[in-house]
Structure 1
Amino acid sequence: VLASGGVGKVYRYTSNPDTSTGDGIAMAWRAGCRVANMEFIQFHPTCLYHPQERSFLITEALRGEGAHLKLPDGTRFMKDHDERCELAPRDIVARAIDFEMKKHGLDHVWLDATRLGEDFLKEHFPTIHARCLSLGIDIARQPIPVVPAAHYTCGGVVTDLHGRTDLPGLYAVGETTYTGLHGANRLASNSLLECVVLGRTCADDITAQIPAALPKVPAWDESQVSDADEEVVIAHNWDELRLLMWNYVGIVRTTRRLERALHRIKLLRSEIDDYYAAFRVTRDLLELRNLVDCAELIVRSALSRQESRGLHFSRDYPRTLPVSFPTILCKKAKKKDAWLP
């Protein structure tokens, strides 16, 4: 059963843990499973921007209580993007922040909650108040630096409602999967409900099967490889992949950006494959290899959707089509790097 989470670490900024490297999705794809809706990556609008804390979320409830998003000069900007201002849906707020950051060349924007008062913040948001204070940010007296961050992967390995994939005996559950329950966006906390329900149906289906004899797995042979001579190559490719995905395949997309990203991903894949073939595998190398596979799946999916819908927004195709279908990718048999939409 694949239950390895999403692909958040493919982006420079993410709320996900370091283990969210798309391992299950990449393994299933290489094994021949279909993958769907990878273009729908949910971004949380307000992740703390701080060198010591790269995945700490500033809850949207803070905006709900009256915190304001501002530029460095103190100007509120959400009113220019949506009449609901800071109370607009998550994807609209994330796009607005992304727009302002790119327009003004900013690394982040500010979330100002000082108007709520210290007593209120301590009582209603004790964790955020304490964590920010430990990092030198007194949210009762100064604004919080925030940036949108990749949050949830709505696509993944195609399964049925029992967690069955295209390969007999291989199941997948949770964020690794595309079950069809999220569509083009995710309603908050529905992912938890999905895990509870699909986890049960998956277990029930497995226990109903007659156990099959397992083939013997050959011992891993690393006699033809050596220790890596330059680990910096992995670190450099990891950083480059995450940065190009953030800049070219982020919250707002264009066909030109996607095509540029795909070109660079192909070059990175070639370098990573050469490295994988020549040196002993490490956790960092395995995760990088899986991330580059997932990055290509995201880009291919985004290029094939010629509309804007849910979490996928394209400047070249800003309208939503009256009828839409899932983006399902599959490989042609016995042909390397061949794709079918």
Structure 2
Amino acid sequence: MAGKYLVNFNASALPQVEAEYLIIGGGIAGLFTAWAAAQAGAQVTLLTKRSIVESNTDRAQGGIAAALGQHDSPELHMQDTLVAGAGLCDEDAVRILVTEGPDRVRELIDMGACFDRTGDHLCLTREGCHSQHRILHAQGDATGAEILRTLYEKVVALPSVEILEDQYVVDLLVKGNICYGVLALDQISGEFRVFWGQVVILATGGSGRLYNYTTNPEVATADGIALAYRAGAEVMDMEFIQFHPTSLVLPDAPRFLISEAVRGEGALLRNARGERFMPQYHGMAELAPRDIVSRAILSEMAKTGANSVFLDLTHLDADKIKERFPTITLTCSQYGLDITKDLIPVAPAAHYMMGGVKTDLWGQTSIERLFSCGEASCLAVHGANRLASNSLLDGLVFGGRIVQKATAILKNRITNRPEFGCQELLSDPDVDFISLRTQLQQIMGEKVGPLRTAQRLAEALAFFDRWAYLKNYEVKETFQMEVRNMLEVGELITEAAMMRTESRGGHFRLDYPETSERWRKHILLRR
């Protein structure tokens, strides 16, 4: 039992809530799935860890990719996705993404999403590794916030959807490889409850907070992947972490994302000596794949002894820049930077998890009645390195497909459920969880970051071994639960990175710098 649950509990003694669709997470993947399920006539209960606006979706600046341009096509979008994915994309998944994606985006527009336009025409921009202008954006650089606003307004108005905020899902309730529901902690009342679901969907988002430098919000602590892994689900591609090349580097500022769309509009990267350097590293220069740009920046930082490089927009039209990037302009101005006149200090930060809970093309995990979509899931649609602005599209397309599959499952309803509980965990480990979380983030940043070696990974694994005994103890509050989840997933990332003795996409080994055809395969991990 040790390692399967985080707390001692007896499900039959707790308050019980019944749901048809039980969705965990309130970003684009969770909200769109809730909307699609309601359109199919289902009752939906959606649980969020904090408020509905605290997600990676809200922070998404650059946009959403879809082949809607006059000279674009799903085939071109597919080719760009495959190139970025570095040989590990599932071609069937990519084809679904790029062919169904335009219709999902049109649905967003029909719901009221206000994407930027010139007259009647959608404004389309270009980002790294895209061969066409196909990125839709809203309010310049607030695309995710606009999509979240649109979906939330639609979903909250639906009588068949109940949204419960401040609900921390502690563990999945799985027996006989069937998921029956979840154990959740109401963070307002402090009460544990059991939510039973005919279908349970993980849409819990990212893992960026495992790292000391990240563009992700505080809620991105890899909870969904940890939940699924503890319950026995397969996880895949855990070694592939995308480090965004350009996060703001200032002493008193958080690592704020400077969108790739800034480079798409013509910004240049310069080192501490003021030299433009990207043409030396890749033919696409500043629009090369993110992993290449990140490593180039780290190389230039090492050469110059600096803690950042610089984004240069000073040669671009100032009024156009302020109109296109109002959020970035305002945020930088709060720290005394005028992005139309000053160079912006930037460096890589953890941004996106390509790996996650393994699913099929319909979002089904290796556990019956448990589905996953969005950043918490992995069906190899992003391969070893996600193409810019494909993540929002991923949440829409594969969230919607879950409903198509789950509709049939709802016809065969669960009426009898097994007993669930745990009374074996020890109480009160003498641990400073605040310090432990800081140590974990530093270890991940230093040992399991953009540049990896066997020695660094071994040192990280030794750290996880030292804390393995915590699996015998229960944890009392959500902060401690988050740290346990971060330890679980940090170890999975490190194990997979140690196993993959090559460099590919978001995984780079200094001791194995070449890409190996022998490693054109996926690593699956299961508890």
Fold match, TM over 0.5?
yes
The separation in 1 between residues aligned to 2:265 and 2:284, in whole angstroms, is: 14
Q: Identify the residue that residue 347 of structure 2 maps to in structure 1.
A: 147
Per the TM alignment, residue 154 of structure 1 is displaced from its structure 2 partner at its CA by: 0.8
1:108-187 mapped onto 2 (5 Å cutoff): 108-187=308-387
Partner Cα separation in structure 2 for residue 248 and residue 314 of structure 1? 11
Contact in 1 for aligned 2:229/2:235 (Cα 8 Å):
yes
Q: Secondary structure at the match of 2:525?
A: strand
Q: Which residue of 2 aligns with 1:284?
A: 479
SS in 2 for 1:69: strand
The partner residue of 1:38 within 229, 232, 238 is: 238
TM-score by length of 1: 0.86
2:326 is the alignment partner of 1:326: no
- The answer to whether the 8 Å contact 2:210/2:490 transfers is yes
Cα 1:220–1:258 change in 2 (3 A) is: closer
In 2, the alpha carbon distance for the partners of 1:2 and 1:25 equals: 9
Secondary structure class of the residue paired with 2:242 = strand
1:11-22 superposed matches below 5 A: 11-22=211-222
Counterpart of 1:189 in structure 2 is 389
Find the aligned partners of 2:365 and 2:279 in 1 and give their Cα distance: 45
* CA separation of 1:124 and 1:268: change in aligned 2, threshold 3 A: same
Residues 250-307 of structure 1: CA deviation (Å, up to 9, x unaligned): 111111111111111222343x446x43xx5211111111011111111111111121
Q: Secondary structure at the match of 2:495?
A: helix
Equivalent position of 2:41 in the other structure: none
The share of aligned pairs that are identical, in percent, is 44
Q: May I ask how many residue pairs the two structures share in their alignment?
A: 324
The correspondence for 1:234, drawn from 433, 450, 455, is: 433
The residue type paired with residue 235 of structure 1 is I
Corresponding residue of 1:261: 460
Report the Cα distance in structure 2 between the residues aligned to 1:165 and 1:34, rounded to whole angstroms.
7
Partner SS state of residue 171, structure 1: strand
Deviation at 1:28, TM superposition (A): 0.8
Name the CA shift for 1:200/1:67 in 2 (closer, same or farther; >3 Å).
closer
Superposition deviation, residue 193 in structure 1 = 2.5
Question: Secondary structure of 2:435's partner?
Answer: helix
Q: Deviations over 1:187-239 (max 9, x none)?
A: 2232223222221221232222212026377689899746x887xx2111111
Residue 55 (structure 2) aligns with: none
Change in 2 beyond 3 A, CA 1:287/1:106: farther
Structure 1, unpaired ranges of 5+: 332-341
1:269–1:289 CA contact under 8 A, matched in 2: no
- Preserved CA contact (<8 Å) 2:222 2:376: yes
Question: Take 1:296 and 1:223, find their aligned partners in 2: how far apart are those partners?
Answer: 21
Counterparts in 2 of 1:88-107, with a 5 A limit? Answer: 88-107=288-307
Structure 1 residues 259 and 123, CA, compared in 2 at 3 Å: closer, same or farther? Answer: same
Q: Larger strand proportion, structure 1 or 2?
A: 2
CA distance in 1, matches of 2:509, 2:425: 48
Q: What is the CA–CA distance in structure 2 between the aligned matches of 1:60 and 1:17, rounded to whole Å? A: 18
> Is the 8 Å Cα contact of residues 3 and 173 (structure 1) preserved in structure 2?
yes
Secondary structure of 1:262's match?
helix
Q: Does 1:76 align with 2:272?
A: no
AA aligned to 1:212 is I
Are 2:247 and 1:247 aligned?
Answer: no
Letter of the 1:326 counterpart: H
Q: Check if 1:213 corresponds to 2:415.
A: yes
1:74-131 deviation line (CA, Å, top 9, x unaligned): 3333344335432322211111112233444433222222232533422332221122
Instruction: State the partner residue of 1:300.
Output: 495
Q: Deviations over 1:146-197 (max 9, x none)?
A: 1211111111111112222122222211111111212111122322232222
Task: Name the CA distance, whole Å, in 1 between partners of 2:378 and 2:250.
Answer: 33
Counterpart CA distance in 2 for 1:196 and 1:120 is 30
**Separation of aligned partners in 1, 2:270 and 2:388:** 25
Question: 1:63: how far off?
Answer: 2.3
Q: 3-state DSSP class of the match of 1:42? A: strand
State the match for 1:338 in structure 2: none
**Does residue 27 of structure 1 match 2:223?**
no
Q: What is the SS of the residue equivalent to 1:314?
A: coil
| Offset, 1:65 | 3.4
Residue equivalent to 2:509? 314
How far 1:314 sits from its partner (Å)? Answer: 1.1
Distance in 1 separating the partners of 2:488 and 2:405: 29
Mapped contact 2:206–2:221 kept (Cα < 8 A): yes
Secondary structure at the aligned position of 1:20 is classed as coil
Instruction: Report the 3-state secondary structure (helix = DSSP H, G, I; strand = E; otherwise coil) of the residue aligned with 1:115.
Output: coil
Cα distance change of structure 1 residues 186 and 10 upon mapping to structure 2, 3 Å threshold: same
Letter matched to residue 253 of structure 1 = R
Equivalent position of 2:259 in the other structure: 59
- Of 43-52 and 290-299, more deviation after overlay is shown by 43-52
